[in-house]
Amino acid sequence: MQEKLETRTFLLFLFAVSIGFALLIKPFFGTIFWACAIAVIFAPLQQRLLKRWPNHKNLTALATLLICIVIVILPVVFVISSVVNEGVMVYNKLLSGEINPAQYIESMRTAFPALNNLLARLGIDMSNLKEDALNAAMSSGKFIAGHTISIGQNAFEFLMSVVLMLYITFFMLRDGSYLVDLMIRALPLGDVRERMLFSLFAEVTRATIKGNVVIAILQGTIGGITLWALDIHGAILWGVVMAFASLIPAVGSALVWVPIALYLTAIGEVTSALILTGIGAGIIGMLDNVLRPILVGRDTKLPDYIVLLSTLGGIALFGINGFVIGPLVAALFIAFWGIFIHDVNNLAPGVHTDPSEAAEEIEPPKAND
């Protein structure tokens, strides 16, 4: 009786301390998450270096981190600074009247008469739409300008967050295997299940980030260069918006280039509209339709509709981090239910005896080629 009481009391305190520690590091969730994600992505490189220098964990982790900084961190900082400058430039053009959203809407109304009937049926007044577009554009410009000032004022805080992320990444790279073994010993799920789940976490994180980031970079770069060549205002800004929009499966960057192509048609730039449509549908769309299933869906072993729903839900709940967290939660959901089905039916004939194969129990059927 005394032993049970002591055990329950200890577990209660263990739970309370764990919750307290989770609340303590909650402000650094994004920093810790991306440190873990970067460590997972670059872990294979670090392991290769470790095979060459097996007794130099610190050196190999540092070398991997430096490669990460050159490949990832510096380009991201460059893109952010370019987008900020472009956003301020667009905002100044809005203030000077060089960019007039109301004029764009009027051009669309004139070029597409059927649009007036459609908007009238929907109960939308064109004059109010012009005013709303102008207000939205000015609000967006003020938002960008305000955040530009905020970034300048909080540059030290941003720098500290990046440094903290890199600091944590170094230790994740150096001690990642030890930390995984420690969690396997601590969690009471069974070693085979735990190793399978940690392996799934690494695979889904690596596939989701690499796949989505590669697609986003390609689509944003191609879209930005195309808009720049067509002399569209804010080409860099729109290219980055395309990159972020590409994180949304099925729709993606078409949210950006389709309205621009319609506007070019409305103002009589039919050739430019055709060029943008051809590149958008033929190249940018092809990248999304061809590469995403290969880089994301196939490696995560999730069907396209689950990837779509989990990505949208993840972004809605966790912001930009959600494009990784959403598919990760979905994959873990399927894996846990696969393990449950396996354990409940472990005496049925023809059922896998290895829990590492349990996730396949509810793997969706594949379409015939």
**pLDDT tens digits, one per residue of 146-183:** 555 555 555 567 778 888 988 999 998 888 888 888 88
pLDDT given for residue 17 in this prediction: 92
3-state helix, strand, coil in the chain (%, to 5): 85, 0, 15
Give the Cα separation of 301 and 361 in Å (integer).
12
Is residue 121 domain-resident?
Answer: yes
Is residue 244 domain-resident?
Answer: no
The whole domain housing 149 covers: 24-186
Is residue 32 domain-resident?
Answer: yes
Task: Work out the number of other CB atoms within 10 angstroms of the CB of residue 152.
Answer: 10
pLDDT in tens, 76-132: 777 777 776 766 676 666 666 666 666 666 666 666 666 566 556 656 555 555 555
Is residue 202 domain-resident?
Answer: no
- With 50 as the cut, is the pLDDT of residue 369 above it? no
Q: Across residues 52-57, what is the average pLDDT?
A: 83
Is residue 109 domain-resident?
Answer: yes
Is residue 69 domain-resident?
Answer: yes
Give the Cα separation of 316 and 322 in Å (integer).
7
φ/ψ of residue 247, rounded to 5:
-70, -20
Is residue 172 domain-resident?
Answer: yes
**226 Cβ neighbours under 8 A, 6+ residues apart:** 257, 275, 276, 279, 280
Question: Are 316 and 323 within 8 A, CB to CB?
Answer: no
Position 16 confidence tier, pLDDT thresholds 50, 70, 90: very high
Q: For the whole model, what pTM was predicted?
A: 0.66
Q: How many domains does the chain have?
A: 1
Is residue 297 domain-resident?
Answer: no
Tell me the percentage of the chain whose pLDDT exceeds 90: 2
pLDDT given for residue 349 in this prediction: 44
**137 Cβ neighbours under 8 A, 6+ residues apart:** 94, 99, 101
